[in-house]
Amino acid sequence: MYYPMVSRMSMVSRKNVTVINFTQSRVSIGFSCTVSEIQNTGLSRLISLEVV
């Protein structure tokens, strides 16, 4: 009776960890994309200013 509950709990916690890791990686990817977009727009503004 005790062992199946423990294995079920560990499976649930493992699934939660996977979801958390997936969410964190998604957030970090989105954040890095946003940062690179900001840097690219800043660079293009600087270049256009220098050209003009």
Query: String of b and e for 14-25 (b: at least 16 CB within 10 Å)?
Result: eeeeeeeeeeee
Confidence of residue 49 (pLDDT cuts 50, 70, 90): confident
Q: What DSSP assignment string belongs to 1-52?
A: -HHHHHHHHHHHHHHHHHHHHHHHHHHHHHHHHHHHHHHHHHHHHHHHHHH-
Q: What is the pLDDT of residues 6-46, one digit of tens each?
A: 666 677 777 778 887 888 888 887 888 788 888 888 777 77
Domain extents for the chain?
Answer: 1-52
pLDDT surpassing 70 at residue 2 = no
